């Protein structure tokens, strides 16, 4: 699959068993998924294909992120539609899915009166690893998340950051193909958040484990993800590689000497989206959407035709925030009008 997403430095091993059949398959495939809670529609007719990547699941609180994760883990049954995770149907093969997938919940979910090593080892066994291998994996993974020294301490003495690391360790201790991280930076101080983001980044790039990173913080997703899925009110707004957002949805800011209104009308007359807006400095700007490279030729030709001088032409990539606000806004407007 050509996704435009950078490959991890070390690919996840593909066992020779039946899992080999899904080696090149998307990590998540969702078709027509709908889930309601009473009259509240949590997920609405979701169609989604997610490649092996570090995927950001973006949406405001109540957008349907956690419901989608719980559905993909096979923990709740959808009203309609199907979902496959790492090649297994979430409804009929939920145990197989959960054997191969890790989950870090948003809420604090750790027992207080046990050591990190004991608990993480137990969670490895709960994913099917033999006892000895589970203990070894627990020690290795706690080292990876920076808790080697503290692994034999009771969890109740841990700070918030350390507890988050234990939650992360238990999610990857069984070497899953995919890990769901539900708001992993929630409630952390700036330093702890930075460290957690570094760890999340390593999970895909160094460990080769695909990541679905649920968050409502755009900056976090932009920092660690290669692919973004945007949800709003249970609807899919966008699903695309993050690196391509600027190229696909970029804009140019054009400054001219001459009749601005005629120039703008001429551009618009050629079917290109154009608008005039005030910059942060209060300067009136002409902003033209760039959907393909020919738009640059069209701007030059129009300037010649309208006898205006092009003073500057400045590329402005759309940030994830622009995309989010633009797409979500458009979808809400469409829904409202509809």
Partner 1 sequence: MSAKAATASAPGAGAPPSGVGYGEIFDRGYQHYRGPRLGRRQAFRSLVGYSIKRAMGIRKSWTAKILPILLYTAAIIPLIVMIGISAVAPQVEFASYSAYFAAIFTIEGIFVATIAPEMVCPDRRERTLPLYFARAITRSDYVVAKLLATIVLTMTMSLLPAVILWFGRQLIADSPWRAMQDHVGDLGRVILLGILIAVFLGTTGLMISSLTDRKGVAVTVIIIGFLLLTVAAQSGFQVVDSEWRRYFIFLSISDVFAAIADHLFGNVDSDLVDVAHFPLWAYLVYIAVVVVVCILIIRWRYRPQD
Q: Which two tokens stand for residue 290?
A: 């760039």
For residue 216, the number of C-alpha atoms closer than 13 Å in the C-beta half-sphere is 12
Q: Quick check: 161 binds partner 1 (CB under 8 A)?
A: no
Smallest distance, partner 1 to C-beta of residue 65, A: 15
Q: Which listed range, 90-98, 239-247, 265-273, 324-332, lies at the site for partner 1 (CB under 8 A)?
A: 90-98
Sheet with strand 251-257: strands edge to edge: 274-278, 284-289, 251-257, 309-316
Q: Quick check: 110 binds partner 1 (CB under 8 A)?
A: yes
Q: Quick check: 20 binds partner 1 (CB under 8 A)?
A: no
Alpha carbon separation from 263 to 53, 153, 243, 310 (Å, rounded): 43, 70, 32, 11
Site for partner 1 in 28-67 (CB under 8 A): 37
Neighbours of 42 (CB within 10 A): 23
Selected from 59, 162, 175, 184, the binder of partner 1 by CB under 8 A is 175
Q: Quick check: 201 binds partner 1 (CB under 8 A)?
A: no
Q: Nearest-5° angle of CA 134, CA 137, CA 142?
A: 125
Separation of alpha carbons 31 and 74, rounded Å: 15
Q: Quick check: 115 binds partner 1 (CB under 8 A)?
A: yes
| Complex with partner 1: residue 205 or 318, whichever CB lies closer | 205
Q: Which listed range, 202-210, 248-256, 269-277, 327-335, lies at the site for partner 1 (CB under 8 A)?
A: 202-210
Selected from 3, 90, 144, 185, the binder of partner 1 by CB under 8 A is 144
Site for partner 1 in 257-316 (CB under 8 A): none
Selected from 52, 84, 98, 318, the binder of partner 1 by CB under 8 A is 98
Smallest distance, partner 1 to C-beta of residue 57, A: 16
Q: Quick check: 160 binds partner 1 (CB under 8 A)?
A: no
| Residue 17: closest CA among 88, 98, 121, 113 | 88
Smallest distance, partner 1 to C-beta of residue 219, A: 22
Smallest distance, partner 1 to C-beta of residue 111, A: 5
How many residues touch partner 1 (CB under 8 A)?
A: 51
Separation of alpha carbons 51 and 241, rounded Å: 10
Residue 162: left if φ>0, alpha if ψ -120 to 50, beta else—which one?
alpha
Q: Which listed range, 111-119, 185-193, 246-254, 303-311, lies at the site for partner 1 (CB under 8 A)?
A: 111-119
Give residues with Cβ within 8 angstroms of 99, minimum separation 6.
127, 128, 174
3 state DSSP class of 220: helix
Selected from 129, 162, 196, 237, the binder of partner 1 by CB under 8 A is 129
Helix axes 131-144, 116-126, angle to 10 degrees: 120
Q: Quick check: 131 binds partner 1 (CB under 8 A)?
A: yes
Give residues with Cβ within 8 angstroms of 213, minimum separation 6.
54, 55, 56, 57, 181, 184, 200, 220, 221, 224, 225
On whether the CB atoms of residues 98 and 132 are closer than 8 A, the answer is no
Q: Which residues bind partner 1 (CB under 8 A)?
A: 10, 12-13, 15, 37, 73, 75-77, 94-96, 98-99, 101-103, 105, 107-115, 118, 122-123, 125-131, 133-134, 137, 140, 143-144, 146, 170, 174-175, 202, 206-208
């Amino acid at each position: 699959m050509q996704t435009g997403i950078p490959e991890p430095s070390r690919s996840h091993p593909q066992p020779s068993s039946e899992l080999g059949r899904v080696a090149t398959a998307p990590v998540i495939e969702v078709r027509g998924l709908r889930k309601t809670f009473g009259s509240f529609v949590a997920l609405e007719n979701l169609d989604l294909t997610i490649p092996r990547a570090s995927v950001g699941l973006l949406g405001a609180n109540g957008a349907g992120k956690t419901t989608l994760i719980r559905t993909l883990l096979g923990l709740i049954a959808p009203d309609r539609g199907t979902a496959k995770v790492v090649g297994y149907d979430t409804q009929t093969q939920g145990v197989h899915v959960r054997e191969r997938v890790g989950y870090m919940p948003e809420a604090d979910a750790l027992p207080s009166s046990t050591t990190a090593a004991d608990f993480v080892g137990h969670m490895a066994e709960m994913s099917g690893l033999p006892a000895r291998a589970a203990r070894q994996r627990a020690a290795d993974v706690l080292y990876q998340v920076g808790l080697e020294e503290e692994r034999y301490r009771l969890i109740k003495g841990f700070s918030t950051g350390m507890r988050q690391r234990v939650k992360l360790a238990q999610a990857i201790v069984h070497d899953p193909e995919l890990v769901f991280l539900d708001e992993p930076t929630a409630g952390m101080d700036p330093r702890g958040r930075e460290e957690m983001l570094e760890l999340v980044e390593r999970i895909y790039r160094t460990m080769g484990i695909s990541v679905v990173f649920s968050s409502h913080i755009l900056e976090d997703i932009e920092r660690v993800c290669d692919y973004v899925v945007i949800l709003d009110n249970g609807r899919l707004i966008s699903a695309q590689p993050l690196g391509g957002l600027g190229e696909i949805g970029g804009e140019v800011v054009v400054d001219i000497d001459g009749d601005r209104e005629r120039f703008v009308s001429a551009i618009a007359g050629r079917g290109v989206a154009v608008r005039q807006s005030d910059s942060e400095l209060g300067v009136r700007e002409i902003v033209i959407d760039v959907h393909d490279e020919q738009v640059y030729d069209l701007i030059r030709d129009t300037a010649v035709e309208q006898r205006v001088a092009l003073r500057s032409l400045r590329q402005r990539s759309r940030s994830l925030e622009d995309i989010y606000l633009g797409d979500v806004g458009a979808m809400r407007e469409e829904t409202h009008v509809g």
